[in-house]
Amino acid sequence: MQKKIIWQIIKKLILYVLLTGATILMSFPLFWMISSSLKTIEETNSAGIVWVPKAPTLQAYIDIFQNANFMRSYFNSTFFVAVAMVGTLISIAAVAYAFSRVEWPGRNLVFFLMLSTMMIPPQALIVPQYVFFNKLNWVGTFNPIIIPGYFAGGAAMIFLLRQSMAQIPKELDESAFMDGASHIQIWWEVIMPLMKAPIATISTFLFVGLWNSLLAPLMYLQTVDLYTLPVFVSTLYNINQTVQPWPTIMAAAVLTTVPLMIVFFFAQRFILESVVMTGLK
Amino acid sequence: MMSNPYFNALLTAAGAIIFILATSYGLGVFASWMAKRRGATAKVQENTFAGYLFAAPWIVGFIIFVIIPLVFSLYWSFTDYRVISSDPPQWVGFENYSNLILNDDGFRQSIVNTLYLTVLGLPLQISVALLLAVLLNQKLKGERVFRMAFYLPVILGFNTAVLLCWRLMLNTGTGIINQIIRGLTQAFPPFGYLNRAAIYLQEISSAFFLGISNGNFNLLNKVIEAGFPAEVRVPLWVQSPLWSKMSVVLLMVWGCGTMMLIFLAGLNNIPKELNEAAEVDGATKWKQFWKISLPLLSPHIFYNLVVGMINALQIFEPIFVLYRDNGPLVPSAISMVYYLWQASFSHFEIGYGSAISWIILIIILVITFVQFRMQDRWVTYDLY
């Protein structure tokens, strides 16, 4: 009996060692990013391992804050993500309501069509969309990376919200109907207040996706004063430079990832569950 | 014309909202009028109006941003359309497609690179995801924290900022990864042999794939002639065409959090009674894993395989950050989407780019179709 208990303790210990080791490996790039941002250029290029800088310096942060283009791209990212998210969230909520709370002819067909668009890779559409936005004179503006979302962009997110909305008992809107409420009132005043958790999940995915997006901003924001963070930060590293300013690049990287970390920290209990439901990234 | 780009964006957003409201209302009115003509009751008419009103943003967006672009790009893929020239597109038939498949080296390289990622990268990624899921499934205290840490790379992974950190870590001479490898080799000689064996295997397989994409196996012969790597060898991550794809594999393995969560859900769904019954019959944990868990996880493995393959076709950010402007390395690393971007937007050859888009689309549809057809053979147990 005692032997069994000891064996169990050893087994647990081994598991914890493995899990901790994996955690260290997985979060190592994050540690290295922060550590490197506090180093001098010599330390980032040193032949020996410098785990943490001997004399941490905030010089890289001072440099990056003085870079007007970086500050501008930070503002650009915040602006574009905020404006894109508002419209995308509201339109997704409206469409999810149509698919879950209203009976209308053709609903199943349209729903099936929507699900099947998940198979179309967004990149397969970039070439014709570029031509379209070019005709509208939208190349070189924020419009092409904001406006498509307003048309309920994101089939997986509509699906996620629809599943949650469909679980609300029908009696709720029926009694509201009796009181003379319209569909718009029911949507906004009865259903939406119950959707806080799924909306939080969707907002997180939207935020992460938009904050990290590179391909579309790269194609459409052609001047440095419009660059979003991922586009601008990628220009800091340039293969033709003889010495890469690694501490500055890493300071920019830390500042870029801080919003992601904050959002993930608060939303992780929502997202970890819904990833499985929809296979969202 | 100098105008404020932010104000301009807000104005266009407001315009888009008005457009959406107008088309939604119009669609709703039209649909309820159609319902009325068919003799529907007032209640049905009202619901039809509301349904189309609420669903209209998606329906209108689907037509503008999916259907019309798809139709146009299908047409353009048979023409020599270029966005800069003012000439109307000329019909060229299947020329773009036949050029892509028969003559285009870059396109062939991108397909072979995707194949490398699928054949060598995906199994690694899936195994690590499965291992992490099995570890987490032991229901230890603090599982949440570990799960968070394993999923975090998915959130961060494709931001250029984090990819640049990888670029720093992967430096051949001074990068931390190679420094750790050197340190371990000195401190612990058996590790050195392991390292060199891994380098040898990696370089042979990579040279083999490069050979397929060039049709020239000289490099493979050279690697084999050079024999077992010397004692001081370290991986040449972002320096050599032999290693450029392995660096991407490393990033894929690091970002395996989504796959891990899917395996975790699968493991949670396995009825406890099965393992308990096996335990009574005297099966070891090891045997239980291979004979019970793994077969029951097969649908999840297959799902991850298919999704992973589609993602490999679409990898863009890591290649952009690690290899942009690095001429000699680009061909050895590009994905199909990177090639699409390169081909379409360096010369604005819309016709050619449209043909690439359609090939990518068809490949993805075929993979998805195969997934649906194969599912019956793979799903050994109805889990949901």
Tell me, what CATH number does A133's domain have? 1.10.3720.10
A51 in any annotated domain: no
Inter-chain contact B55–A99, Cβ cutoff 8 Å? yes
Contact A194, A200 (CB under 8 A): no
pLDDT over threshold 90, residue A70:
yes
Of all helices (H) and strands (E), which one includes residue B63?
Answer: none
Contacts of residues B9-16 at CB distance under 8 Å and 24 or more positions apart, as own/partner, are B9/A79, B9/A80, B9/A83, B9/A141, B9/A142, B9/A143, B9/A146, B10/A83, B12/A138, B12/A141, B12/A143, B12/A146, B12/A147, B13/A83, B13/A87, B13/A146, B13/A147, B13/A150, B16/A87, B16/A147, B16/A150
Q: How far is residue B266 from each of residues A245, A276, B303, measured CA to CA in Å?
A: 45, 9, 11
CB neighbour list of residue B119: distance below 8 Å, 6 or more residues apart: none
What tokens does A161 get? 């919200």
What tokens does B48 get? 């039809």
A54 in any annotated domain: no
Going A93 to A95 to A100 to A104, the CA torsion angle's sign is: positive
pLDDT over threshold 50, residue B212:
yes
Domain enclosing residue A10, as ranges: 2-37
- The mean per-residue pLDDT over the stretch B348-359 comes to 91
Q: What is the DSSP string of A245-261?
A: -HHHHHHHHHHHHHHHH
pLDDT over threshold 50, residue A213:
yes
pLDDT over threshold 90, residue B142:
no
Inter-chain contact A49–B180, Cβ cutoff 8 Å? yes
Residue A97 to chain B, least CA–CA distance (Å): 7
Nearest CA in chain B to A33: B165
Inter-chain contact A22–B132, Cβ cutoff 8 Å? yes
At B276, the amino acid letter reads: E
- Count the Cβ atoms, other than its own, within 10 Å of residue A90: 17
| Residues linked to residue B91 through DSSP beta bridges, in sequence order | B79
Calpha distance A25→B150 (Å, rounded): 9
- The mean per-residue pLDDT over the stretch A23-31 comes to 95
Residue B165 pLDDT: 95
ipTM of the complex: 0.92
Contact B69, A132 (CB under 8 A): yes
Nearest CA in chain B to A133: B65
- The mean per-residue pLDDT over the stretch B326-333 comes to 86
| Statement to judge: residues A71 and A185 lie in one domain | yes
| Statement to judge: residues A91 and A154 lie in one domain | yes
- The mean per-residue pLDDT over the stretch A185-193 comes to 93
pLDDT over threshold 50, residue A281:
no
**How many domains does chain A contain in total?**
2
pLDDT over threshold 60, residue B382:
no
pLDDT over threshold 80, residue B208:
yes
| Statement to judge: residues A150 and A30 lie in one domain | no
| Statement to judge: residues A29 and A132 lie in one domain | no
A222 in any annotated domain: yes
- The mean per-residue pLDDT over the stretch B37-53 comes to 92
Inter-chain contact A23–B357, Cβ cutoff 8 Å? no
pLDDT over threshold 50, residue B192:
yes
pLDDT over threshold 70, residue B120:
yes
Give B-chain residues touching A141 at CB under 8 angstroms: 5, 8-9, 12
Going B52 to B54 to B55 to B60, the CA torsion angle's sign is: positive
Nearest CA in chain A to B353: A127
**pLDDT grade for B112, boundaries at 50, 70 and 90:** very high
pLDDT over threshold 50, residue A233:
yes
A43 in any annotated domain: no
| Statement to judge: residues A260 and A130 lie in one domain | yes
Q: What is the DSSP string of A219-254?
A: HH--STTT--HHHHHHHHS-TT-SS--HHHHHHHHH
Give B-chain residues touching A252 at CB under 8 angstroms: 161
A234 in any annotated domain: yes
How do residues A234-268 score in pLDDT, each as one tens digit?
A: 999 988 888 899 999 999 999 999 999 999 988 88
**B-proximal residues of A, 110-139, CB under 8 Å:** 110, 113-114, 117, 119-121, 123-132, 134, 138
| Statement to judge: residues A107 and A30 lie in one domain | no
| Statement to judge: residues A26 and A150 lie in one domain | no
| Statement to judge: residues A23 and A132 lie in one domain | no
A241 in any annotated domain: yes
A254 in any annotated domain: yes
| Statement to judge: residues A91 and A11 lie in one domain | no
- The mean per-residue pLDDT over the stretch A71-86 comes to 96
- Count the Cβ atoms, other than its own, within 10 Å of residue B178: 18
Nearest CA in chain B to A226: B5
pLDDT over threshold 60, residue B84:
yes
At B168, the amino acid letter reads: L
Among the partner-chain residues A79, A97, A117, the one whose CB lies closest to the CB of B54 is A97
Residue A276 pLDDT: 64
**A-proximal residues of B, 363-382, CB under 8 Å:** 364-365, 368
Give A-chain residues touching B51 at CB under 8 angstroms: 98, 102-107
What tokens does B370 get? 């195969």
Q: How far is residue B30 from each of residues A23, A114, B41, B51, B65, measured CA to CA in Å?
A: 57, 21, 16, 12, 22
A206 in any annotated domain: yes
| Statement to judge: residues A28 and A119 lie in one domain | no
Residue B344 pLDDT: 87
Query: What is residue B292's three-state secondary structure?
Result: helix
Contact A194, A210 (CB under 8 A): no
- The mean per-residue pLDDT over the stretch B44-53 comes to 94
The tokens 């209108």 sit on which residue?
B60
| Statement to judge: residues A111 and A197 lie in one domain | yes
Q: What is the DSSP string of B67-123?
A: IHHHHHHHHHTTB---SS--SPPPB-TTHHHHIIIII-HHHHHHHHHHHHIIIIIHH
Q: How far is residue B371 from each of residues B119, B263, B267, B300, B378, measured CA to CA in Å?
A: 17, 17, 21, 12, 10
- Count the Cβ atoms, other than its own, within 10 Å of residue A178: 8
**pLDDT grade for B271, boundaries at 50, 70 and 90:** confident
Inter-chain contact B168–A120, Cβ cutoff 8 Å? no
Among the partner-chain residues A131, A152, A187, the one whose CB lies closest to the CB of B83 is A131
| Statement to judge: residues A26 and A74 lie in one domain | no
Calpha distance B76→B54 (Å, rounded): 34
Contact A120, B50 (CB under 8 A): no
pLDDT over threshold 80, residue A269:
no
CB neighbour list of residue B38: distance below 8 Å, 6 or more residues apart: none
Residue A118 pLDDT: 84
Better pLDDT: B376 or B189: B189
How do residues B224-253 score in pLDDT, each as one tens digit?
A: 888 888 888 889 998 899 999 999 999 999
Whether A48 and chain B come into contact, CB under 8 Å, resolves to: yes
Taken as a whole, chain A contains a residue count of: 281
